[in-house]
Structure 1
C-alpha cells in the first residue's frame, strides 16, 4: 500500500480534485439535471434503498418504487449495482445530494479505471493522469450527468475491464480469474456494455491463441473463466429463468429511428464532448497508416477494434434498413451511439501511446497538453452550468420530452423542494413516467404499452392506499359497489394475491393486456395483499453467488499482492 501511495498518490489526488471540480456547478447552483432516464432509474434505486432501510429484501417485485405496483425491474437490470445505488441514496440527504454524490462517484471511478488501464499499458504516470481526467469530460461519462444514461456506469468500468487484453496482446496469455471477475462485474452493472466488452475480447484472445504454443492451456483458461462467470452471475440467470419461463415480457424500448441515433447525425455531440476529442480522433486516424509498421501488436489490435466500433456508431451500417425488422440483436442495440464508448476508451489509450512514443517531448508541448486538458474540463463545467440554469431559472426543469411524462404539480417551487427533502418518495410522486419495460404481456398486444400503463396505473381514477407491511405490499380502498375494479398492481406468473383474506386464483380476476388486475370489490373497505413466490427459491443461488464473489476476489487480491511484492 505504501508503494502504491508513493508512486500513484499525487495522481489519484489530481483525479479526486478533478472529480470535485466537475461537480462544482451543481454545488454552487443547487440545481438538478433531470434527463430522459432519471425517473426510471431513480425509481429502481429508491426501491432498493427502501428494501435495505426496512430490511425487506424483495429480489423480484418493486414494493416501493414504480408506483408500488409490484413490477419486476431490478431482478433483470443489474440487481447488485442497483443495491449499491440504493446505499448511496441512504447516505444522501435528498435527491439533490444523491445526484451530486453519484456524479462524484462516477467521475472518481472512471478516472481510476482509465488511469489503471493506461498504467497497465506502460503510459507514464503524468500522461496516464491527464488521460484519466480527460476521460471524465467525454460524453461516455457525461451521459450520466446530463441525461442519467446508465451506460455511463458501464463506460466507467470499461477501461478497468480491458486490462486482460494487454496481456493477451503482449504475453499471449491472460489471468482467467481476473478476466472472469471483470466480465462478471460489467455484466452485473450493464448488460449491453458487457456484450461490447466480450466483442473487444474476441480478437485479442484469437490473436493470443493463434500465436501461442500453449493453445490447449488458453482454451482451458477460457473454460475456467466462463465457468466462474456463470457462478458469479448465477442469481441473474436464475432470475431470468423465473421471470421469462412463465411470462411473456415486454421488451425494453425499441428504437425505430436508430439511423438518427448515430454520431453522424443527431448524436454528433458524442464526438465533440469535449471539442478536443474530435481533433484527437481525426489526428489518430490520419497518423495510423503512417505509423502502422512501427505499431506494436497491441496498438494494431486496439486500432482495428476502435475502427470497428466507430463504424458501428455511424450510418455506414444501414441502421435505417435494419430497424423495425424484428431482429433481436438490432433491437437490443437501441442506440448505435453507445458503440462510441469503446471508441473513446481505445482512442485515449492510443493517443497517449502515440504522444509518448512518437512526439518529441518539450516543455511547450507539455504545457499545451495541460492547457487542452484545462479547456476540456472548463468546457464540461460550462455545459453543465448552462443546463443547470434551466432548473434555476425554471425554463425547462425536466430535460426530456413531455411525451409519457407526468408532472403532478404546476408549482415549480414545490418541485424544487421535493428534490431537497429527506422524503425521497415525494419527488417520485410528483414526477412519473410510463416506461413499460419488463411488464408482462397477456394476449396479443399490439397496443401502445406506454398508453396502457398510463391508463391503468398513472391515471387510474380510483383512490388507493399502498403500504408495505410484514414484507407484503398491501393495497387498500373503499368501494360503494360490488363492480369489477381496476387495481394498479401487476400480476406475473408467480405473483400471489389475497383479496379480503381470500387467496385469489386465476378465475377470480381479470387481467389487462399489461398485467394489471381487475377484481370484484365488496362494499366498504377492501384490502389486497401482494407477494411473489420465488424470492425464497432464489435466495440460495444469491448466497452461493455472493460466496463465490468473496472467494474469487480473495484469490485475485492474493495474486495481485504476490505479484506486486515480487516486483
Structure 2
C-alpha cells in the first residue's frame, strides 16, 4: 500500500498536467475538429511521405515521392528527418489526421508541461507553485502553437525546460551530465535545427560558470567531448545530408521575413507566439524589479536566471533594434526569421525565477500577504489560460464553417467540396487531404539560375510549374525510391515535367538516361516528349559514404534505445 501511495503521490503532478492539457484541447474534442493552421500542410506533407515510406517499406531519404505533389523535391533530409519518420509512424498507426493531431497535441503539452514542472521543482520544493507556473508556461509563447497552428518551434519550446535543468545542474554541481546533454541535443537536432542552436547557445553561460568553478576541469572537458561526440554520432544523418546538399547544389534558403515585424509585442487578449499578455508581462517586470531590489538577499541563482531571462526577452521583443540588425546581418531574415523564437528560452527562465521568488515570499510573509501573492499568481494563470482556450474554440468552430481551414496562408488550391475536406481529415486515407488542399512552399528548392534568381526560391514558379501541372500526369512510386510519371501526348514537342531535379537526380525519359536537359529556375526539367505514351523516371543517387553515415546514425539510435530499455528494466526489477 505504501508503494501504491508513493506511486500515486509521484503521479499527481503528471495527472494535473494531463488535466490542464485536456482542458486546453476540449474545444477540439467537443467539436471533433482538426485545426489546419499556418504550417499544417507543410508538415502534413512531410509526415505523410514518411508514413507511406514506412508502410510500403520503400525508402528514399532525400527524394519526396509521396508528399509535396509527388515532385521528388528534398524536404525531410534538410528538416528533422528522423522526427518526420517518427510522426509518419504515428500517422500510420493512428490512421487519420484527426487522431494524429489529438495525440501529438497531448504530447507537446505533456512534454513541455512536465519539463517546466521538473524545472520549477528543482529550484523550490512547493508543488503548488510549480504547477501554477507550469500552467502559465503551457498557455504562453510557442508551446500552444502546435495545437493552434502546427509550428514546429513548439517542440523546441517543449524541450527547452529540460535544457535549462541541465544548465542549473552545471551551476550547482560544477559538472555536466554528459549523457543526458548529448541525448537532449540529439533529440532536438532531429526535430528542429534552429531550436538546437538556440538551446546550445542558452547553455553557454551555464557551461562557462561551471568550467570556472569546477575543481576537475580536465574531467569536465572530457565529459563535454563525450556529449559532443554522442550528439555528432546520433545526428550524423542531419549534418551530413545538409553539408552534402549545400556543397553540391545551390539550395534556396527558407523565405525571409521582417525581423522587426516578427518580434514580441504586447497583446491585450493574446499570449501565443507574437504576443505577451499584460498580466504575464507585469509579473515578469515585478520579478525583475524584485531580484534587482533584493539582490543582496535573494538567491543568486534566482537573480542570474531572471537577469538572463529578461535579457533574452528583450532581444525577442520589438524594443530591440531589429531593423538595423537586419540591414547589418541580412542572413538572419531567412535563418532566424522570427525573433519571437527566443521566447522558448526567455519564458522558462523567467517563470522559474517567479517560482523561486514566490516560494521565498510565502515563507517570509504574513497570511494577508500570502493570500495576495497567491491570488495574484492565480489571476495570471487565468489571464493566460482564457485567451488560449478561447482561441482554440474559435479555430475549432471555423472548421465547421465554409472556411474549414484555420489559416489560408500561401494556400493556392482548395476543393470547393468542403465536406470532402472534412472527411479527408477524419478518414483512413490521409493522402486525400494533400490533393484537396495544396500550398506553395518554396523551401529547399534548387536555384538553377543564380545570377538572375531572387535570393528566396520563387513560390509562384512552384505553384505554376508543379502544383498546377501535377494533375496532368500519372504518378507511381517504384521500388528503390524511384518515381515514375506517365502521360499521353498528341504530338512531339517540349514539355515541362512537374518534378524537381538536383545534381544527384537521375532522369530517364522513355528508357533513355538523360545526361543533359534544360531546367527552369527551380529545377523543373523541360523535356522533349514523343507522340503517344511517355514515361519519365526520377531517382536521387546518393553516394555510398552517405548511405553508410545514415546506417551508422540509425545503428547508434538503436543501440541507445537498447541501452535505455535495459536501464528501465533494471530499475523496475530493483523496485
* Superposition pairs of residues 30-429 of structure 1, within 5 angstroms: 30-255=32-257, 257-264=258-265, 269-270=271-272, 276-323=279-326, 327-329=330-332, 331-359=334-362, 360=365, 364=371, 366=374, 369=377, 373=381, 376-394=384-402, 396-401=403-408, 404-429=410-435
Shift in Å at residue 553 of structure 1? 5.9
Residue 522, structure 1, aligned to residue 530, structure 2: yes
Work out whether residues 27 and 393 of structure 2, in 8 Å CA contact, stay in contact via their aligned partners in 1: yes
Give RMSD over aligned pairs.
2.9
More moved, 301-310 vs 192-201: 301-310
> Per the alignment, in what secondary structure is the counterpart of residue 301 of structure 2?
helix
Residue 459, structure 1, aligned to residue 465, structure 2: no
For the residues of structure 1 that align with 2:14 and 2:470, how far apart are their CA atoms? 54
Work out whether residues 61 and 72 of structure 1, in 8 Å CA contact, stay in contact via their aligned partners in 2: yes
Work out whether residues 494 and 529 of structure 2, in 8 Å CA contact, stay in contact via their aligned partners in 1: yes
Note the alpha carbon deviations across 1:474-507, whole angstroms, 9 max, x for none. 11111112211100111111111211111121x2
For the residues of structure 2 that align with 1:552 and 1:480, how far apart are their CA atoms? 57
For the residues of structure 1 that align with 2:172 and 2:543, how far apart are their CA atoms? 46
For the residues of structure 1 that align with 2:429 and 2:119, how far apart are their CA atoms? 40
Ranges in structure 1 where 5+ consecutive residues have no aligned partner: none
Q: In 2 relative to 1, CA 524–324 (structure 1 residues): closer, same or farther, beyond 3 Å?
A: farther
Note the alpha carbon deviations across 1:252-309, whole angstroms, 9 max, x for none. 1111x21111113799744866664223222212212122222334323322321221
For the residues of structure 2 that align with 1:322 and 1:178, how far apart are their CA atoms? 35
For the residues of structure 2 that align with 1:366 and 1:187, how far apart are their CA atoms? 39
> Per the alignment, in what secondary structure is the counterpart of residue 81 of structure 1?
helix
More moved, 385-394 vs 71-80: 385-394
Q: In 2 relative to 1, CA 212–54 (structure 1 residues): closer, same or farther, beyond 3 Å?
A: same
User: Who is 2:496 aligned against?
Assistant: 486
Work out whether residues 478 and 484 of structure 2, in 8 Å CA contact, stay in contact via their aligned partners in 1: yes
Shift in Å at residue 536 of structure 1? 5.8
Residue from 458, 464, 475 that aligns with 1:449 = 458
Work out whether residues 441 and 514 of structure 1, in 8 Å CA contact, stay in contact via their aligned partners in 2: yes
Residue from 14, 19, 26 that aligns with 2:16 = 14
Work out whether residues 501 and 523 of structure 2, in 8 Å CA contact, stay in contact via their aligned partners in 1: yes
Q: In 2 relative to 1, CA 556–421 (structure 1 residues): closer, same or farther, beyond 3 Å?
A: closer
For the residues of structure 1 that align with 2:8 and 2:432, how far apart are their CA atoms? 47
Work out whether residues 479 and 525 of structure 1, in 8 Å CA contact, stay in contact via their aligned partners in 2: yes
Note the alpha carbon deviations across 1:500-538, whole angstroms, 9 max, x for none. 111121x2x211110011111111111111111118643
> Per the alignment, in what secondary structure is the counterpart of residue 162 of structure 1?
helix
Residue from 474, 481, 486 that aligns with 1:476 = 486
For the residues of structure 2 that align with 1:429 and 1:156, how far apart are their CA atoms? 31
Q: Number of residue pairs matched?
A: 562
More moved, 466-475 vs 209-218: 209-218
Work out whether residues 271 and 388 of structure 2, in 8 Å CA contact, stay in contact via their aligned partners in 1: no
More moved, 237-246 vs 440-449: 440-449
Work out whether residues 140 and 344 of structure 1, in 8 Å CA contact, stay in contact via their aligned partners in 2: no
Work out whether residues 399 and 406 of structure 2, in 8 Å CA contact, stay in contact via their aligned partners in 1: no
* Superposition pairs of residues 493-532 of structure 1, within 5 angstroms: 493-505=503-515, 507=516, 509-532=517-540
Q: In 2 relative to 1, CA 555–213 (structure 1 residues): closer, same or farther, beyond 3 Å?
A: farther
Shift in Å at residue 82 of structure 1? 1.0
Q: In 2 relative to 1, CA 526–325 (structure 1 residues): closer, same or farther, beyond 3 Å?
A: farther
Work out whether residues 35 and 405 of structure 2, in 8 Å CA contact, stay in contact via their aligned partners in 1: yes
Work out whether residues 453 and 521 of structure 2, in 8 Å CA contact, stay in contact via their aligned partners in 1: no
TM-score by length of structure 2 reads 0.90
